[in-house]
Structure 1
Amino acid sequence: MFFHDDELQFEVEVEEPNPYFAKMLQQAIGGAEGEMRVALQYMFQAFAVPAEKQEFRRLLMETACEELGHIEMLATAVSKNLAGAPEELREEAREDAVIDAMMSGGQPRQALSAGLHAMPVDSNGVPFTGGYVVASGNLAADMYANVMAESTGRLLATRLYEFTDDPGMKDMLAYLIARDTMHQNQWHAALEDMGEHVPVPASFPQEKENDDWNYAFMSTYREEREDPGRPWTEGTSFDGKEEFTYSPDQPGGGPPDLEEVIDEMYNEVN
């Protein structure tokens, strides 16, 4: 169940509207690094949490709802950058040849389909896809995916921060960057709280693995190369269960020997 409060999570002010920056902000809404991705990712992960792990369900669901608020903030920022942009600013932006080319081939749908407002698309106008969402049903795997999602989201926000001189936009982005900092830390804290979980899934019996290769760094160079002596080729493994080793080559399995093709598939080779 959700409740809505008709108030932005954080103030959104635009002092100098910029239609080009509005298109850039779309990446933070519907892009692979955007808020739609993490809101749905955390929500669908929460749906899969079993009853005995309710503290993780709450962590995920509360963060998902927070991310919905971020979408609302960014959508407001897009509208303010589009609707209030004066003509002289549009023309000034076009003085840069690169920006002019991008604006000329930009997103007419923001005007034609959305009336100068935000859309569930990325900065190139590509619609958001659920394919961005990671919800595996394994809490540890999902938490690692969440660290990555917040890392790339924070990276995007810091780049957007550098692309604007508008004080209001910088204030909004500074808030979003701060929240990404918190979210990265909370997912790491959740992983720490889970205890032993590496390798994921930790429930699979490791004795069923091929133990000749489960802690060996495999070189794929054609010519044999020496062990570079890095932390992933020697010393104790990250999970503390074995020692890393270095293999200068691959085990080899001979050429592929496919069985005869199935006639009904019409895969004959002429």
Structure 2
Amino acid sequence: MFHHVKELQFNARVSKPDVRFAKLLLEQFGGPNGELKAAMQYFVQAFGCRKAYPAEYDMLMDIATEEFSHLEIVGATIQMLLTGVNGELKNAADESDLTKMLDGTAAKETYINDAMINPHFFLVSGGTPTLTDSVGNPWSASYIMGMGDLTADLRLNVGAETSAKMVYENLLKFTDDVYVKESLRYLMTREVAHFQMFQAALENIKPNFPPGILQSDPRYSNKYFNMSKGNDFKGPWNEGKSPEMGEDWQFIDNPQQRVEDTNGLLDEEAKGTDRTEKSVQKDNKTLSKERKEKVEKANKPENGVMSWSVYEEQVEAQKNNDNKNK
């Protein structure tokens, strides 16, 4: 259930119209890293964890709804930046106002240039925001990413918030409007906040690595293949212990020779790890059973009825209470 409050979450303002920046800002309205993408991604992901992970479901729905609020802020800002375009285009019966606005060759050339920057504003949308990115590509559901596994989805969302934050950071460079800047800074800051929320939610799920259920093959999980020659660098990604599983990194300096010596890695041995194929298969079964039982228990029908909300349970509880009072 959604309830729309007509005031914006943040008081968006602009000091003057700016068709050019309105075009750039479309990137966060209908682009692949924009607010609609984020809202729909988190909204869709939430369905899969409604029963098994009710706390994370609540978080996903709250953030998804806030992203719709951010979409409204972006749309309102674009509309204000297009002030003047909408009204002039409605003057279809009399060209006098438009002629006045385009008084002089320079003014006409400016108008034509603005139209060419984004013809949709002038020819199709009538001076309103369009669900496209900044170069006119229509919004697509293909932007949405979700794997149906909460730990994987949360990692995807951390990446989504990172990309959106960077877009706002770049947008800030292309406007001098102090009011627009304050809205962009607010929206950018909320991306940082959501990043932390998703990260915290991921850490709250144990175990959360690797994403999914099946464990990795111990023969290959800690191998670093030096696939380029030249200035080779060492770091925590190829020396010391791996950050998630605590295995010792194995640096393979000559990958081609290693492949040839091990029959295409089929004969590769596990080194620098306590994990074995036997322990991996045991962990696979243990985690599979745990996740299966958790989901089935959470989705078990109450009184022979599957109910998304608690209405059915409340009705049954009321019946039982009434019977006790008779």
Determine if the TM-score, normalized by the shorter chain, exceeds 0.5: yes
CA separation of 1:233/1:147 partners in 2, compared to 1, >3 Å: closer, same or farther? same
User: What is the letter of the counterpart of residue 214 of structure 2?
Assistant: F
Q: Which residue of 2 aligns with 1:182?
A: 193
Residue 31 of structure 2 corresponds to residue 31 of structure 1? yes
CA distance in 2, matches of 1:186, 1:151: 13
Q: CA RMSD in A?
A: 2.4
Aligned positions of 1:1-270 closer than 5 A? 1-84=1-84, 103=114, 105-201=116-212, 203-206=213-216, 209=217, 211-221=218-228, 228-248=233-253, 249-250=255-256, 251=259
User: What is the letter of the counterpart of residue 125 of structure 1?
Assistant: G
CA distance in 2, matches of 1:38, 1:87: 40
CA shift at 1:212, angstroms? 2.3
CA distance in 2, matches of 1:40, 1:205: 30
Q: Tell me: higher relative CO, structure 1 or 2? Use CA pairs within 8 A at least 6 residues apart.
A: 1
CA distance in 1, matches of 2:121, 2:191: 28
CA shift at 1:87, angstroms? 6.5
CA shift at 1:109, angstroms? 1.5
Q: SS of the counterpart of 1:217?
A: strand
CA separation of 1:115/1:240 partners in 2, compared to 1, >3 Å: closer, same or farther? same
For the 8 Å contact 2:158–2:199, the answer to whether it is kept is yes
CA distance in 1, matches of 2:209, 2:102: 56
CA distance in 1, matches of 2:145, 2:220: 28
The more displaced of 232-241 and 29-38 is 232-241
CA distance in 2, matches of 1:151, 1:108: 31
For the 8 Å contact 1:111–1:117, the answer to whether it is kept is no
CA distance in 2, matches of 1:29, 1:87: 29
Gaps of 5+ in 1: 255-270
Q: SS of the counterpart of 1:83?
A: coil
CA distance in 2, matches of 1:87, 1:39: 40
- For residues 30-55 of structure 1, the C-alpha deviation after alignment (integer angstroms, 9 at most, x for no partner) is 11111111001100110111413100
The more displaced of 245-254 and 52-61 is 245-254
Q: Which residue of 2 aligns with 1:257?
A: none
CA shift at 1:226, angstroms? 8.6
User: What is the letter of the counterpart of residue 196 of structure 2?
Assistant: N
CA shift at 1:67, angstroms? 0.4
CA distance in 2, matches of 1:164, 1:47: 39
For the 8 Å contact 1:37–1:133, the answer to whether it is kept is yes
Q: Normalized per residue, which structure has more helix?
A: 2
For the 8 Å contact 2:115–2:121, the answer to whether it is kept is no
CA separation of 1:217/1:26 partners in 2, compared to 1, >3 Å: closer, same or farther? same
- For residues 50-75 of structure 1, the C-alpha deviation after alignment (integer angstroms, 9 at most, x for no partner) is 41310000100010010001111111
CA separation of 1:51/1:235 partners in 2, compared to 1, >3 Å: closer, same or farther? same
Normalising by the residue count of structure 2, what TM-score does the alignment of the two structures yield?
Answer: 0.68
CA separation of 1:87/1:244 partners in 2, compared to 1, >3 Å: closer, same or farther? farther
CA distance in 1, matches of 2:23, 2:170: 14
**Identity between Structure 1 and Structure 2 (%):** 30
CA distance in 2, matches of 1:195, 1:87: 64
CA distance in 2, matches of 1:146, 1:81: 30
For the 8 Å contact 2:27–2:33, the answer to whether it is kept is yes
- For residues 93-128 of structure 1, the C-alpha deviation after alignment (integer angstroms, 9 at most, x for no partner) is x89xxxx97x46422112222110101100001001
For the 8 Å contact 1:14–1:169, the answer to whether it is kept is yes
For the 8 Å contact 1:22–1:82, the answer to whether it is kept is yes
CA separation of 1:19/1:199 partners in 2, compared to 1, >3 Å: closer, same or farther? same
Aligned positions, number: 240
- For residues 144-168 of structure 1, the C-alpha deviation after alignment (integer angstroms, 9 at most, x for no partner) is 1111111111111111112111121
For the 8 Å contact 1:227–1:233, the answer to whether it is kept is no
Q: Which residue of 2 aligns with 1:264?
A: none
> Which has the higher Rg, Structure 1 or Structure 2?
2
User: What is the letter of the counterpart of residue 179 of structure 1?
Assistant: R
CA separation of 1:22/1:214 partners in 2, compared to 1, >3 Å: closer, same or farther? same
User: What is the letter of the counterpart of residue 234 of structure 2?
Assistant: G
